[in-house]
Amino acid sequence: MSKKLHVAIVGGGIGGLAAAAALVHRGISVAVYEQSAALKEVGAGVFIYPNSLRQLERIGLRAPLAAVGARVGPGSEYCRMDGSVVGQILTTDSAGWNGMYGMHRADLLAVLAAAVPADAIHTGHRCTGFSQDETGAQLRFDNGQVAHADVVIAADGINSVLQKHVVAPSAPEYAGFRAYRGLIAADRVPQWRREAHLVWMGEGKHFMVFPVRRGELLNYVGFVPTASETAESWSAVGDRDELAAAFAGWDPRVTGLLSQVESCFWWGLYDRQPLGQWVNGRLALLGDAAHPMLPHLGQGANQAIEDGTALAVLLQAADVEGRPPAEALQRYEALRRPRTSMVQAEARRNGRRYDSQYADLAQRDREIANSAQLRRALYDHDIEQEALRSLDLDGVSA
**Of 80, 91, 45, nearest to 355 (Cα)?**
80
Residue at 180 is within a domain = no
Q: What is the mean pLDDT of the chain?
A: 93
Mean pLDDT of the 143-165 span: 97
Known catalytic residue at 181: yes
Residue at 219 is within a domain = no
pTM comes to 0.95
pLDDT at residue 114, as a whole number: 98
Mean pLDDT of the 241-254 span: 94
Give me the CATH number covering residue 286: 3.50.50.60
Per-residue pLDDT of 307-345, as tens digits, reads: 999 999 999 999 999 999 999 999 999 999 999 999 999
Residue at 200 is within a domain = no
**Of 150, 163, 140, nearest to 280 (Cα)?**
163
Q: Let me know: does 372 contact 90? Beta carbons within 8 Å.
A: yes
Flag whether pLDDT at 237 surpasses 90: no
Per-residue pLDDT of 266-314, as tens digits, reads: 888 999 999 999 999 999 999 999 999 999 999 999 999 999 999 999 9
Q: What is the span of the domain harbouring residue 335?
A: 6-70+104-171+275-356+381-393
Residue at 241 is within a domain = no
Cα–Cα distance, 85 to 375 (Å, whole number): 19
Q: Let me know: does 70 contact 103? Beta carbons within 8 Å.
A: yes
Mean pLDDT of the 393-398 span: 64
H helices present in the chain, as ranges: 14-25, 50-56, 62-68, 105-114, 240-246, 252-259, 300-321, 325-354, 361-369, 372-380, 383-393
Flag whether pLDDT at 16 surpasses 60: yes
Q: What is the DSSP string of 254-293?
A: HHHHHHT----EEEEEEE-PPPS--EETTEEE-GGGT---
Among the residue ranges 203-207, 309-313, 374-378, 393-397, the one predicted with the least confidence is 393-397
Residue at 185 is within a domain = no
pLDDT band at 370 (very low <50, low <70, confident <90, very high): confident
Residue at 48 is within a domain = yes
Structurally, the chain folds into a number of domains equal to 1
Among the residue ranges 34-38, 242-246, 392-396, the one predicted with the least confidence is 392-396
Residue at 79 is within a domain = no
Q: Give the pairing type, strands 29-33 and 6-10.
A: parallel
Flag whether pLDDT at 82 surpasses 80: yes
**Of 369, 306, 377, nearest to 77 (Cα)?**
369
Residue from 26, 105, 178, 181 carrying the catalytic annotation: 181
Residue at 216 is within a domain = no
Flag whether pLDDT at 1 surpasses 60: no
